[in-house]
Chain A
């Protein structure tokens, strides 16, 4: 099977029951994508598959055959932080940071979907992502500020 991860093509022989998240972490050493539960409830493992957010603990690697996968490692551009990464930093959107890669990838999925992003829309859009530390308030603020920047004509 072969798939594209962060713009790089990979071909591999994998165990039929390997989960995509372990392919990313173990085969490709992309350890930014975390695993926080075994019940598909925490969202720490969120990545984009063909542009849509999915929980990579619930997808078999073989099911990603032919797909384009984007992980947190694919966001920074030539050492320059992505607007979402910047905003999580400046708005204090993280404490321990465990949930952050999943939050950022879920947020990127929301922003790319193109819908409205009021505070309520963002909170609903993050229903699949749990954070034990921050109480979500700063996460929502960070996503709003990044979305404003990404959607403003200047950055287009």
Chain B
């Protein structure tokens, strides 16, 4: 096995062009486990941990651009004001040792439906900036995931950054179940209120082969809030509307039929999480107004 250790981003892209089969290595908390366990046997690794270009974030024009190599520890310490939903989710990842190494780019690269960063990024309307030696392009996050471990990256492309609108309202994230390296048993849900655009964003984790938005639920609850002008009045959301919102979120899920009973359980749990996060976020919105 070869290992390439480029010293700059442009060098990394050149290496990837010349050796498209080389597998990017960031914090290694997914990839090294696969290697140690004998599940992955790559011919070559492309170590991205030396690249200063990937390790930082900046804020410009109402958006935060987070380098793919930013760790969960950094997201928690530095980005909670701008991206509260992502910060809540980051705190639930692994243990300190994992959060000190694991990167946001790696969470996207693994493309697990259980990746904790993914629902809050979907709810916030994030885009992925990918690059090859030839060009760079942006992909809406919801189009990035195709199946577990399969993304929209093309040969020679690497994830450069994740670009996320700064929160313009309350954001929440909640998950049920435990996650460790061997067992994935969570359903998770992220919600973002966008008072500026009068929209509600959602993200569902672990309830389909890939993380998803619940677009029908988003349109429905956005319609209710607009129809009764609740954004301005700050009045409570009628109970039947939040119940319906929960049902629509559950209906958007496509749970994998792995263990008998899980499908029904996951749908039920999702409806509960959806109603709960909506109630939390709406009460934050009302008390801020």
Contacts and interface: CB of A to CB of B under 8 A. Distances in A.
Interface in A7-60: 16-17, 19, 38-41, 43, 46, 52-55, 57-60
Most buried by B among A106, A109, A110, A127: A127
Contacts of B95: 43, 106, 125-129
A58 B3 contact: no
A63 interface: yes
Contacts of B244: none
Interface string A103-115: 0001001100100
B32 A39 contact: no
B36 A46 contact: no
Contact of A58 (B101, B180, B182): B101
A152 to B, nearest CB: 23
B221 to A, nearest CB: 33
A40 B96 contact: no
Interface string B1-37: 1110100000000000000000001001100110111
B148 interface: no
B-side binding surface: helix, strand, loop or mixed? mixed
A34 B135 CA distance: 45
A62 interface: yes
B1 A58 contact: no
A100 B208 CA distance: 40
A63 B28 contact: yes
Contacts of A39: 33, 36-37, 181-182
A57 B97 CA distance: 11
Interface residues of A, number: 29
A80 B81 CA distance: 43
Contact of B36 (A57, A109, A110): A57
Contact of A40 (B25, B36, B49): B36
Nearest to B28: A58
A89 B33 CA distance: 33
A60 B101 CA distance: 12
Contacts of B50: 65
A38 B34 CA distance: 9
B97 A106 contact: yes
B103 interface: no
Most buried by B among A60, A65, A109: A60
Interface in B165-188: 180-182
Interface string A125-144: 11111000000000000000
Interface of A: 16-17, 19, 38-41, 43, 46, 52-55, 57-60, 62-63, 65, 106, 109-110, 113, 125-129
14 contacts: A19-B36, A38-B36, A53-B97, A53-B100, A55-B98, A57-B32, A60-B45, A62-B5, A109-B97, A110-B96, A125-B96, A128-B94, A128-B95, A129-B95
Given A16-B3, A63-B25, 14 more contacts: A17-B1, A38-B36, A43-B95, A52-B73, A52-B100, A54-B100, A55-B98, A59-B28, A59-B32, A60-B3, A110-B96, A125-B95, A125-B96, A128-B94
Interface of B: 1-3, 5, 25, 28-29, 32-33, 35-37, 45, 47, 49-50, 73, 94-98, 100-101, 180-182
Q: 9 tightest A-B contacts by CB? A: A128-B95, A16-B3, A127-B95, A52-B100, A58-B32, A128-B97, A38-B36, A39-B181, A53-B97
